[in-house]
Structure 1
Amino acid sequence: MNFSRTRFKPARRQGGFTLLEMLAVIVLLGIVATIVVRQVGGNVDKGKYGAGKAQLASLGMKIESYALDVGLPPKTLQQLTEKPGNASNWNGPYAKPSDLKDPFGHAFGYRFPGQHGSFDLIFYGQDGQPGGEGYSADLGNWE
């Protein structure tokens, strides 16, 4: 019998990442992603609030256009999209149904007759509720 001596070589360690290293990278990526999302989210709200201001002005002009044609501002904002039965000089639609919602998806507030003018148009901000501060602050067409 021929017994040859075989030497066992120690197993070479293969290059790669350990589970602990992978978890550390995942945690760091999560932290960075959270910071980025918070920064971008704040800018999105700022943009929507600015768009709400612009939409408030645009909708106010549409109401004034309605008033020039019919003689009075509409009783409700829906009269900008659908002809009311008693409006003989109605040349609308003056607005699309989507124009009656702010960039946050809330309905604009509307009063006719208004407390600050012939009509009051109100953008309630991010929360869609009266009052608030920051991006939830209300804006009116009289301001």
Structure 2
Amino acid sequence: MKRAQTRETRGFTLIELLIVIVILGLLASLVAPQMFGKVDDSKIKTAQTQMKMLETSLSTYRLDMGTYPESLDELLESDKPNWAGPYFPKEVPPDPWGNDYVYRMPGDDGKPFTLLSYGADGREGGEENNADIVLQ
């Protein structure tokens, strides 16, 4: 006795897979720009937080030494008298885009110091993600 051969359907057809891929592509094109915008915002907030931590270290240095350091490296090591550091727990981190923070002493506009990040492009000026982030 022979069995009747039936065709069993296994898996998906090529058309069905293509339709799913197109739908996923459309969803990704709607969601991805919003998600990447959040990444840029978080980098800006990270830079602001790191600069506030550096500000605290700079203020502690000033309390001990009577003046602000000439460079951020003096927060970690110095041979000056009354130096009671290190004033920062480890190496000064780069900004979230991998660039060094800019520290000027004396600062701009009569301030004792200026601390800033040049943003995503690493150059002075710019708009949106490329805008300078200045410690307020």
SS at match of 1:14: coil
Q: Deviations over 1:14-45 (max 9, x none)?
A: 36422122122123223323433322221121
Does residue 120 (structure 1) correspond to residue 111 (structure 2)? The answer is no
Q: Is the 8 A contact 1:77 1:100 kept in 2?
A: no
- TM-score under structure 1 normalisation? 0.77
1:13 CA drift (Å): 6.2
Q: How does 1:41-80 map to 2 (within 5 A)?
A: 41-80=36-75
Following the alignment from structure 1 to structure 2, what is the Cα–Cα distance between the partners of residues 88 and 35? 59
Q: Is the 8 A contact 1:49 1:126 kept in 2?
A: no
Letter in 1 for 2:128: G
- TM-score under structure 2 normalisation? 0.80
Q: Which runs of 4+ in 1 moved over 3 A?
A: 9-13
Gaps of 5+ in 2: none
User: How many residues were matched structurally?
Assistant: 133
1:140 CA drift (Å): 2.2
Identity of aligned residues (%): 40
Q: Deviations over 1:67-100 (max 9, x none)?
A: 22122211111111122x3x11111111121x44
Q: Which structure is larger by alpha-carbon Rg, 1 or 2?
A: 1
Following the alignment from structure 1 to structure 2, what is the Cα–Cα distance between the partners of residues 56 and 38? 28
